[in-house]
Chains A and B, each alone.
Chain A
Amino acid sequence: MRRDKLKTPIALVAAAIAASSFIVTPAAAAPPADTARKVDRLQDEINAMAQQLQEMKQQLLQMKQENQQLRGQQAETAKQTEQAVTQQKELQTQVTAATQTAQSAQSAATKPSPLDNVSLWGYGELYYTHPTNKQPDTRADLARAVFGIGYQFNDTTRFNSEYEIEHAVASADDVGESEVEQFYVDHRLNPSLSARAGLFLIPAGLLNENHEPTNFYGVTRNFVETLIIPSTWREGGVSLYGETENGLGWNAGLTTGLDLSKWDFNPETPLYTSALELQNNGAAPMQATHQEMALANAQKLSGYLALNYRGVPGLTVGGTVFGGGAVSATPYTGSQNAYLYEGHVRYQPGRWDLSALYARGGFTNTAQANAQFPGASNPLPASFYGWYAQAAYNFDVGGYRLAPFARYEKYDMGASYEGLAPGFSGTLTGTTPAGTFPSPRDTVYTLGANFYLNPNVVFKFDVQRFRTNIDFDRIDLGLGLAF
């Protein structure tokens, strides 16, 4: 718009100049009589023109100034545009850099390495246990150090294994044990069916498959899932498992079974004299006879079926039945079977953690076996059982999790006996020349707390009271970790 305005006065000026020169030329040729008047008139006209010119000059100057201003504004706008472009370029660079960082992080994650398919994990626990009525039995123990190695062969096949050292030092002269706890291959047969083969954990109870110290309350594992369900209980075999979208999980397997010939009918000294020994010494019926795939006698097979319903958030209700042929206690005993069944429930509505479990097991044809050891100090039980109920509450203490808990449990490792000689009750208890034989059944009250430094590290404290074997009363401290 403004440029158009400019053009018009310039054209006008040019026309005026041309016009004035045109007028001047004929005037010079006019006769002298009129000359003075004409000259005057022309003079006037010239004066008027000169004034017009002056005005035009003025206007031109103004135009020039305006033009100058406009140029300045234009330059300013250009500068601003340039700045915007620079800023945009900078932003683009930042976006590119961020994208590249994200991409390189991603490509670093996908960069092939022989270790990509390997996974490592571990867990362990340390105890300090102080029997309040029998202080010489106070012990500090690195109860177990376990490390796991897994390998993902491909999307459908995985290998898992766990290696354990119990009680810190394992040698011919030491109390420790070194063992392979799990060693199996998992394979997804199709999108809805998985199979497992090798040495694996029996899915019985709440603890056996989830036995890491961060997963249970109390310094040591509960007695029912140690003495009745022999956690950590594993067998060699094959299994199929899975779960439905409505929350029903199932697991069925064929495995090795128990070897009753490992049973010690006539121990000369008590098999255990403290709560810690009760848990560690493998005196319980299935603890003493499971084989853990150490040259296991595999003449007879066992099978199991485990069902767990988790269709209500926070709730687990389930049970397991295990059974099969067992290696007979003696060559002169007829065919023997072993069985175990259990039912459990765990409910975690928010901060509460409530659980209960009942387990019962037994061996068949024990009468024949026991008849060969009349008056034995440790006859083979026909049945054994235990149950517990437990409540814990999770507090948030300054960002840490503190979970006090209480547990009531009952176990009986000799609920029934068959084939005992007249006058024998089945279990030797009380003080004998060989030592004090504890009762194989008891009721235990446990009060304590788990303090979680983080989800992987837990400090534990508990007090346990035994109704029958009062020498077992104890105070425990523990440290557990799992990663």
Chain B
Amino acid sequence: MPHFSDRLLPTALIPAIVVGVAAAAPIVVYATDYLTLAQAQKLMFPDASQFASQAPVLLTQAQATRVAGATGGSVNTSQWRVATAQASDGRVLGYVVADAVIGKFQLINYAVAFAPDGAIRDVEILSYREEHGGEVRTAAWRKQFAGKTGASPIRIDDDIRNISGATLSCTHLTDGIGRLARYVQAVLVGKS
């Protein structure tokens, strides 16, 4: 490696560069509300003419166990909002389930779009409140879930890759998406 000399980069200039970069940088930082649920639904099912909200989800003990999956733990459906995406002729195009999980301290609101066969089409982050781990918004990371179903592992470091420095957000979001996928597969698929 070349020696890093004063001539290469006068260190006193760095603060000036930093200020310049900060001022010139595109304004694209973490935020809270990226999308409303309605916007996300439309984004994920552009062909749908309406989204029929379903009744609050109540699971039997057996269903809850199944939905919890290998990660176990209790399943709290109170945050879930389930809607069926319908075409103008009434055909079911799929489902959108919105949920919230804790990142480290704050809630992350997200929505998952499912095809009628229970395969994940898309994941959207609706709100992000943590100061760290906002990288879960990265499109490439969210794309990893496409095509997975309730039968997939949907676990960090298994079939879903982690984001270094955002482990908690990645893990909790992945676990949440897995629960929704298992719910859709167990309860919604084949019943429409």
Contact = CB atoms under 8 A, between A and B. Distances in A.
A193 B135 contact: no
Contacts of A461: none
A79 to B, nearest CB: 29
Contact of B18 (A215, A254, A341): A254
B164 interface: yes
B89 interface: no
Nearest to A244: B28
B11 interface: yes
Interface string B30-59: 111110000000000000000000001010
A241 B9 contact: no
Contact of A311 (B28, B29, B140): B140
Interface centre among B14, B33, B139, B158 (most CB of A within 10 A): B14
A383 B21 contact: no
Interface in B3-34: 3-4, 6, 9-19, 21-22, 25-34
B164 A348 contact: yes
A146 B65 CA distance: 37
Given A102-B77, A206-B164, A348 B157 contact: yes
A321 interface: yes
A349 B161 CA distance: 7
A244 B26 contact: yes
Interface string A344-381: 00101111000000101010100000000000000000
A303 B105 contact: no
Given A105-B76, A152-B105, A351-B157, A253 B28 contact: no
B152 interface: no
Contact of B138 (A206, A311, A348): A311
- By secondary structure, the A interface counts as strand
B29 A243 contact: yes
A390 interface: no
A73 interface: no
A252 interface: yes
Contact of B17 (A305, A362, A364, A383): A305
Interface string B127-139: 0010100110111
Given A192-B28, A252-B25, A302-B14, A358 B1 contact: yes
Nearest to B141: A313
Contacts of A242: 27-30, 134
A152 B103 CA distance: 14
A314 B131 contact: no
Interface string A109-134: 00000000001010000000000000
B163 interface: yes
Nearest to A313: B161
Interface stretch (A9-17, A274-282, A283-291, A322-330): A322-330
Given A186-B131, A252-B25, A313-B144, A245 B32 contact: no
A312 interface: yes
B23 to A, nearest CB: 9
Given A192-B28, A194-B30, A350-B161, A105 B78 contact: yes
- By secondary structure, the B interface counts as loop
A407 interface: no
Interface centre among A98, A194, A303, A325 (most CB of B within 10 A): A303
B63 interface: no
Interface residues of A, number: 73
B147 interface: no
A99 B58 CA distance: 8
Contacts of A38: none
Given A98-B58, A158-B131, A313-B144, A360 B1 contact: yes
A366 B40 CA distance: 58
B86 interface: no
Contact of A364 (B1, B6, B22): B6
Contact of B140 (A103, A121, A313): A313
Contacts of A302: 14-15
A252 B1 contact: no
20 contacts: A99-B58, A102-B58, A121-B104, A186-B131, A190-B27, A192-B28, A209-B165, A210-B165, A242-B27, A245-B137, A252-B18, A252-B21, A302-B15, A305-B17, A311-B138, A313-B140, A314-B162, A323-B12, A350-B157, A383-B4
Given A99-B56, A303-B16, A349-B161, 16 more contacts: A188-B30, A188-B31, A209-B165, A240-B25, A245-B138, A252-B25, A254-B19, A303-B19, A311-B138, A314-B161, A321-B9, A322-B14, A324-B11, A348-B161, A350-B158, A351-B157
Interface of A: 95, 98-99, 102-103, 105-106, 119, 121, 150, 152, 155-156, 158, 160, 186, 188, 190-194, 206, 209-210, 215, 240-247, 249-250, 252-254, 301-305, 310-314, 316, 321-325, 337-339, 341, 346, 348-351, 358, 360, 362, 364, 383, 385, 394, 416, 455
Task: Please name the 3 residue pairs, one residue from A and one from B, whose CB atoms are nearest each other, closest first.
Answer: A242-B29, A303-B15, A314-B161
